Amino acid sequence: MMNMLLDVRNLKMYYRTRRGHVKAVDGVNFSLNRGKALGLVGESGCGKTSIGITLLRILPTNAEVIEGSALFDGTDILKIGEEEMRKYRWKRISMIFQGAMNALNPVHKVGDQIIEAIITHEGISKEEARERVARLFELVGLNPDRMDNYPHEYSGGMRQRAIIAMALACNPDLIIADEPTTALDVIVQDKILREMRRIQRETETAMIYISHDISVIAETCDEIAVMYAGKIVERGPIERVFENPLHPYTKALMSAFPSVKGEKRRLETIPGEPPNLLHPPEGCRFHPRCPYAKPLCSEVEPLEEEFGNGRFASCHFAGEW
C-alpha cells in the first residue's frame, strides 16, 4: 500500500536475565498509515513500551530482537546499520517518553534545549532553529515569549507541551507517545490530548499512542491494538473494536474503565494477574483469567485471524462468547 508508513511483522524482542528470557514482545503484527493514529493499549508490563524502544532501536544491553521485521517507508529499520539508523532516529521517528516532562534540563532555557536538538540533528543555523522553535511553540499552544524561561517557570502542562514541541522539532513522519500525559491532572490531560490530536491532524504526522487507559485511546486514535502478555490479541479500527470486541481481554479492558459517553455502568475488574513472561502459560496467554476459556485454550496457541474490515484477533472463539 502506497499510504502505509509502518508495517511490523512477527516482531519478537526478548530481555536476557539470569533466570531466562523475558518474552516482552513475542510475535506481534500491526501496521500504520501515514497521518493516522494507532493506540497501543494494555496493562503495565505487557510490552507496549518495549515495542516503542525496539522501533527506535534504543534497547538496553540485555535486550535482543529475536526475529521479525519493521518496514518503515519500505525499509526494514531493524536490519540497517547504526549509522543509517541515525538518519531515522528523531528525524523521521521520534518518541515522547513516559514522564518526559521531568527530563528538561533545569539549568537551561526551554527554548535553547529544543534549538540545540534541531541544530544537532539538522545542522541549520541557530537563527533558523530559533524561528522554527517559535513556530512550534505556537503550534503546541505556548507563547513564543516563554522560550527564554527555565523549566521551573513552567506548569506541568506547559512542560508537557514543550516536550511535544521537541518531539516535532525535526518534522518526523512518526511520533511514538508513551503515556504522554502521565502525572498531569485530568483536566490538563484532556487539554493536552486534544492538542496532540489537533497537531497530529494538522501536520499529518503518524502517531503511536501507548497507554494503559483504553478510554484515552478511544478519544485520540483511529485504530487500536490491544496487547496482553507480549502479544497483540486484537487490532482494528477504533469504532468497530469498541462496538463489537472480538477478544475477551478487549471486552474485559473496556469494562474496567468508565465510559466517557453513555449511561453510567458498574466497573468490572479483571480477575487474577498478568502472567510471568519468563514462563508464559501454554496456549492462549489470557486463558487463566478468561471467563470463557475452554480446554482448547490452554492447549493450543491461537493464531491471528482476519475478520474483515481491517479487524484481526487471536482467539479460538473470537466473538462467539
> Distance (Å, rounded) from C-alpha 273 to C-alpha 260?
26
Tens digit of each residue's pLDDT (9 = 90 or more) over 65-102: 999 999 999 999 999 999 999 999 989 999 998 877 77
In the predicted model, is pLDDT for residue 112 greater than 90?
Answer: yes
Q: Are strands 37-41 and 305-306 parallel, antiparallel or unpaired?
A: unpaired
pTM listed for this prediction: 0.91
- Nearest-angstrom CA–CA distance, 316 and 321: 10
CA dist 153 and 136 (Å) reads: 19
Rounded CA-CA distance 29/209 in Å is 16
What residues does each domain of the chain span?
4-92+213-313
b/e map of 231-261 (b: 16 or more CB within 10 Å)? bbbbbbebebbbeebbbbbbbbbbbbbeeee
Give yes or no for a contact between 52 and 210, defined as CB atoms under 8 angstroms apart. yes
As a whole number of Å, the CA-based R_g of the chain is 20
Strands (E), the chain: 4-17, 20-33, 37-41, 63-72, 75-76, 93-96, 174-178, 206-211, 223-228, 231-237, 305-306, 312-313
Write the DSSP symbol of residue 314. -
Q: What number of other Cβ atoms are within 10 A of residue 304's Cβ?
A: 17
Q: What is the pLDDT of residues 198-212, one digit of tens each?
A: 989 999 999 999 999
Residues in CB range of 42: below 8 A, 6 or more apart: 48, 212, 226, 227, 228, 253
Residue 71 pairs with which residues in a beta bridge?
Answer: 7, 76
Strands 4-17 and 63-72: antiparallel
On the question of pLDDT at 48 being above 60, the answer is yes
Which tens digits make up the pLDDT trace of 154-172?
998 899 899 999 999 999 9
Query: Quick one: pLDDT at residue 1?
Result: 52
Average pLDDT for 167-179: 95
Q: Among 30, 26, 22, 42, which residue's Cα sits nearest to residue 6? A: 30
Could you read off the pLDDT of 289-315 as tens digits, one per residue? 999 999 999 999 999 999 999 999 999
Write out the H or E segment, with its range, that includes residue 240: helix 238-243
At 265 the pLDDT is 67
Torsion sign over Cα 179, 180, 183, 186: negative
Query: Burial, 321: exposed, middle or buried (Cβ in 10 Å; 0-12, 13-18, 19+)?
Result: middle
Mean pLDDT, the chain, whole residue set: 93
Q: Does domain 4-92+213-313 have CATH number 3.40.190.10?
A: no
Task: Note whether 179 and 212 are within 8 A (CB).
Answer: yes
